[in-house]
């Protein structure tokens, strides 16, 4: 699975959009981009995933560049409860081994 690069930490003011970048320059054509987050003392929580097209759900939006070498997770109106570690994961979904390889993620701190 391709490796990802994320900033170690970011700050965001409550109510503003949080834009979390991820580089995955070695991604291959059959690899998906997944985002999970982990709030302190809890298990990771699935946020969103995509292959080529931009995706949006009730939690966030995922913007994938045309060359698929990077992506951005957007939390449109960050709240204090969005303070967490956000993991960008690139994974080939083979059907026989859909395990996820986590990096160290981005620690997002949402402040008043």
Partner 1 sequence: DTGVSQDPRHKITKRGQNVTFRCDPISEHNRLYWYRQTLGQGPEFLTYFQNEAQLEKSRLLSDRFSAERPKGSFSTLEIQRTEQGDSAMYLCASSLDRDYNPNYGYTFGSGTRLTVV
Candidates 15-23, 59-67, 68-76, 103-111: pick the segment binding partner 1 (CB under 8 A).
103-111
Q: What is the 3-state secondary structure (H, E, C) of 31-66?
A: EEEEEEEECCCCCCEEEEEECCCCEECCCCEEEECC
Site string for partner 1, 14-53 (x = CB under 8 A): ------------------x-x-x----xxxxxx--x----
- Closer CB to partner 1, 53 or 96, in the complex: 96
99 is a site residue for partner 1 (CB under 8 A):
yes
- Check residue 25 and give left, alpha or beta (phi > 0: left; psi -120 to 50: alpha): alpha
């Amino acid at each position: 699975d391709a490796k990802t690069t994320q900033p170690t930490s970011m700050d965001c003011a409550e109510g503003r959009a949080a834009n979390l970048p991820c580089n995955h320059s070695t991604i291959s054509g059959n690899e998906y981009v997944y985002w999970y987050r982990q709030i302190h003392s809890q298990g990771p929580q699935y946020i969103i995933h995509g292959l080529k097209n931009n995706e949006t759900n009730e939690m966030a939006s995922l913007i994938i560049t045309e060359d698929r070498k990077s992506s951005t997770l957007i939390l449109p109106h960050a709240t204090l409860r969005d303070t967490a570690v956000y993991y960008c994961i690139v994974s080939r979904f083979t059907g026989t081994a859909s395990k996820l390889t986590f990096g160290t993620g981005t620690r997002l701190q949402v402040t008043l």
